[in-house]
Every structure is written in structure tokens, then in C-alpha cells.
Chain A
């Protein structure tokens, strides 16, 4: 069949989400952030909530998320995105409010805000990208860095006596009364991306129906911080990250 016949608009089965604009993303090649951005854009478009969605950007690699998705955004101070989202949701109860945070923002400087917002049962969704490293500032150790993993601030590997243990935020969140949905997903394979999309959709619907807070942790790669190629990073994620951060629903009411 002729190439020109196939390449007609009615044959399109996959394309860049409508809500994603044409700005070239600043993320490194193969970054998991961009995949999650794409999923969020697709879900908001499918739910037809473009005019009623307010996202809260973190500080970290995803600080410029407002440049890429054509929805309303707020830029929160470092770690304070869940507090901003709580206030926004209370002022705009009919809107879909979500935060998009990395592990340095959510699990380190913003631990207090995150846990208290989840514990209050605010009707927000927190999307938590866990790549076990501070990507934006140059690959320093994060609270979620695995034992023995080398970063620029623990060049001999993370040691329990010196640095403590990796923090499993989702496991903590699952014990809180205010949360209704806590899940951990990954974006390293096509199948995992499909499951992540379903999880984010579920979390968004929960927050719209006022069931409580939802936390979607997404185990992701940081090929620049881990000093690997995107392909190696995905393999390393499957071999090292997933045994410590097992995928699946931790809490579903």
C-alpha cells in the first residue's frame, strides 16, 4: 500500500497529546518525566477537564512543567506543592487539582507538607516521580537513593550508618486515614506505562468524587544522574529499583 494513503489523518492511532504544546522539553533524552507529562496530558484530554484542571509545579526537574501542558498551573515553593494544592482545591472545589513532584521535593524538603496534606484527606492527587536522585542539581543523594548506590554526595555508595535508609513514602502514606488510593507504578516498559496511565486516571477520578487524597508514586529513571544511557537506565531500574520499590496498589478504598 502506498505510504501516502496510510499517512492520512483518519489512520492516526497515536500522536502527541493535544494538550501538549510544541515547546521542546528541557528534559534529558529518555527522561521518565516527559513520559508522565504525556500521560497527564492524555488523561486530562480524555476526561475533558482542560478548563477545570489546576496543576501545581514543584521545584526540581519538573519546575518548568507549566511550559509543556496547556492547562492552568501554579508554581509552588520548594516542597510546598501539597499545601498550595490543598488551598487551591478548597477555593475551587469543582476543579481537578493535582501536584507533580519529584523525590527531592516531596520526600525530602516537603515531607511534612506531603504527609499532613495526605493525612487531612484533601481531595487532591499527588503524582510523585521517584528516580532515587536529585536530577536537576547534579545527581546528589536523595532520601530515596538505594543502599550502595553511588551519587555525587555519596561517591562510595549509600551506607546505612552514615546516611540512613531509603524512604518509602508510599508505604507511609498507605497507613494514613486520609488517603483513599496509594499506588506505585513505573514507566520503564510499554505495559507499565499503560498501568501508570490507568492509575493516574483512577486517582484523578477519586479526587473529583471527593473520596480523599491519592498518591501515585512513579518509579522513573534519571539517565543523566545515574550516568547511564536511557536503555541501560531502564534495565537498571528493573533490576535494582523494583525489588526495593515493588509495583502495585498499596491502598485502594
Chain B
């Protein structure tokens, strides 16, 4: 069976650190960074890209459209 491999890219400058993407991720691969962006928000980062399947849940949930999701077959 073909396995999907995904990765996300977060627009750090737009991210407001609402944490909704982390809640939406079915594999809990997203966390808020300890560092802040220029607005003072703890932005989202993908901590473990190896298990991401590119399901786009985080992107659909993100209110500010910060997340770009890439997906390919392994």
C-alpha cells in the first residue's frame, strides 16, 4: 500500500499561536514554539515531520491561513 508523506510549512509572521492546529492534528505533531514572532505570539511548529500524512486538518482549522500542507506518495 502506498504511504503518504506530508510536511507543513507555517507562516510564522502571520501565526497568532491559537493552538487550534495542534488540537486538530490527529497525530499530535504540532506544538507551539518557545520562541515568539514579531507580534509576540508563540508560533506553531511541526515537531515530528516523519509521521505527517498531509491530511490538511491543521490547514483547514488554521483561522489565519498560515499553514501550507505538502503531500506526496512515498
Contacts and interface: CB of A to CB of B under 8 A. Distances in A.
A156 interface: no
B27 interface: no
B64 A34 contact: yes
B69 interface: yes
Interface residues on B, range: 20 to 34
Contacts of B66: 16
A5 B71 CA distance: 10
B33 interface: no
A15 B41 CA distance: 21
A14 B68 contact: yes
A31 B68 contact: no
Contacts of A166: none
A16 B24 CA distance: 17
Interface residues of A, number: 35
A30 B57 CA distance: 15
Contact of A231 (B13, B19, B59, B60): B19
A29 B18 contact: yes
A143 B11 CA distance: 37
Contact of B72 (A11, A25, A32, A229): A11
Contact of A13 (B17, B18, B19, B69): B69
Given A1-B72, A11-B72, A234-B23, A35 B49 contact: no
Interface of A: 1, 3, 5-8, 11-17, 20, 24-25, 27-35, 38, 189-190, 193-194, 223, 229-231, 234
7 contacts: A1-B72, A3-B49, A13-B69, A14-B69, A24-B13, A24-B14, A234-B23
